[in-house]
């Protein structure tokens, strides 16, 4: 279950871009080296664009996004609240997800991100510490 920071802050566009860039390319800080993690960067990008909790993003499968006329629709049951949600997914985001799935040979029936919420939180903490950002959690990506 996602633990929310008591004083969590929403990200600015600049902070968001910096976090994603560093998450993708990695960094070296003294003797410590952080290898980039495109999978987590992609999950955070999708979270920022859909406004879902990270746990719900990590449970997504490409088949969950349904073509509905000239739009795409996502029907989910939120993990935390157990409420059913249905909303439109912008075509650009659907195409972004589809390209990621194709490039990484992920089956449409498989989870797109086979990682845990804790793994995302740990990687995000390393990146935000490197960037000297405080009170940023995965939840911050919901309010961009």
Q: What mean pLDDT, rounded, does the chain reach?
A: 92
Beta pairing class for 84-89 and 71-77: antiparallel
pLDDT tens sequence across 35-92: 999 999 999 999 999 999 999 999 999 999 999 988 999 989 888 888 998 989 999 9
Q: What is the pLDDT of residue 2?
A: 43
Q: What is the pLDDT of residue 73?
A: 96
Instruction: Say how far apart CA 10 and CA 47 lie, in whole Å.
Output: 13
| Residues linked to residue 140 through DSSP beta bridges, in sequence order | none
Q: What is the pLDDT of residue 30?
A: 84
Q: What is the pLDDT of residue 4?
A: 47
DSSP symbol at 34:
E
Q: Where are the domains of the chain?
A: 13-143
H helix count then E strand count, the chain: 5, 5
% of the chain at pLDDT higher than 70: 95
13-143 belongs to CATH 3.40.50.300: no
The 3-state DSSP class for residue 126 equals helix
Contact call for residues 50 and 57 (beta carbons, < 8 A): yes
CA distances from 88 to 67, 93, 110, 127 (A): 10, 10, 21, 31
Q: What is the pLDDT of residue 8?
A: 73
Greatest extent of the chain over all pairs of C-alpha atoms, in Å: 53
Strand spans (E) along the chain: 26-29, 32-35, 65-68, 71-77, 84-89
pTM above 0.85, yes or no: yes
pLDDT tens sequence across 9-28: 889 999 999 999 999 999 99
pLDDT tens sequence across 102-135: 999 999 999 999 999 999 999 999 999 999 999 9
């Amino acid at each position: 279950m996602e633990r929310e920071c008591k004083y969590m802050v929403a990200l600015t566009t600049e902070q968001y871009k910096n976090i994603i860039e560093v998450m993708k390319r990695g960094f070296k800080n003294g003797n410590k080296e952080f290898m980039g993690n495109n999978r987590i960067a992609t999950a955070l990008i999708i979270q920022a664009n859909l406004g879902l909790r990270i746990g719900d993003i990590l449970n997504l499968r490409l088949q969950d996004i349904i073509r509905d006329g000239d739009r795409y629709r996502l029907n989910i049951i939120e993990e935390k609240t157990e409420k059913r949600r249905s909303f439109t997914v912008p075509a650009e985001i659907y195409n972004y997800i589809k390209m990621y799935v194709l490039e990484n040979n992920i089956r449409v029936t498989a989870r797109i991100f086979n990682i845990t919420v804790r793994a995302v939180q740990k990687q995000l903490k390393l990146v935000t510490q490197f960037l000297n950002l405080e009170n940023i959690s995965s939840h911050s990506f919901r309010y961009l």
